[in-house]
Chains A and B, each alone.
Chain A
Amino acid sequence: MTEIQDSQQELIEEFQFFDNWIDRYQYIIDMGRQLPEFPEDQKTEDNRLRGCQSQVWFTSRRNNGQLEFQAVSDSAIVSGLIAVLMRVYSGRTPQDILNTPPDFITAIGLDQHLSPTRSNGLNSMIQAIQAAARACL
Chain B
Amino acid sequence: MNATGQIPDSSNSARPALDNDRIRGDFPILHQSINGCPLAYLDNAASSQRPRQVLDAIQHYYCHDHSNVHRGVHTLSHRATEAYEGAREKVRKFINARSVTEIVFTRGTTDAINLVADSLGRDFSADDEILISHMEHHSNIVPWQLLCEKTGAQLKVAPINRQGELLLDDCLALMSDKTRLVAIAHVSNALGTINPVERLIPAARDRNIPVLVDGAQAIPHQAIDVQALDCDFYAFSSHKMCGPTGIGVLYGKQQWLERMPPYQGGGDMILSVSFEQTLYNELPYRFEAGTPNIAGAIGLGAAIDYLDTIGMASIAAYEADLLTYATSAISELPGIRLIGTAAEKAGVISFNVDDIHPHDLGTVLDHQGVAIRTGHHCAMPVMEFFGIPGTARASLAFYNNRQDIDQLVEGLKLAIRMFQ
Contact = CB atoms under 8 A, between A and B. Distances in A.
A54 interface: yes
Interface string A16-37: 0000011001100100000000
B132 to A, nearest CB: 27
Interface in B321-361: 356-357, 359-360
Interface in A59-111: 74-78
Given A21-B367, A55-B389, A113-B367, A29 B359 contact: no
Contacts of B362: 115
A114 interface: yes
A50 interface: no
Nearest to A74: B357
Contacts of B364: 25
Interface string B357-382: 10110111011000000110000000
A43 interface: no
B42 to A, nearest CB: 16
Nearest to A80: B360
B368 to A, nearest CB: 10
B376 to A, nearest CB: 10
B389 A53 contact: no
Chain A interface residue number, banded: 10 to 19
B418 interface: yes
B419 interface: yes
B357 A25 contact: no
B203 interface: no
B414 interface: yes
B269 to A, nearest CB: 39
A118 interface: yes
B360 A76 contact: yes
A115 B356 CA distance: 17
Contacts of A76: 356-357, 360, 419
B153 to A, nearest CB: 30
Contacts of A114: 363
B407 to A, nearest CB: 16
A50 to B, nearest CB: 15
Contacts of A53: 359, 374-375
Contact of A75 (B357, B366, B418): B357
5 contacts: A22-B414, A54-B389, A77-B363, A115-B362, A118-B359
Interface of B: 35, 356-357, 359-360, 362-364, 366-367, 374-375, 389, 414, 418-419
- Top 5 closest pairs, chain A to chain B, by CB: A75-B357, A77-B360, A53-B359, A54-B359, A76-B360
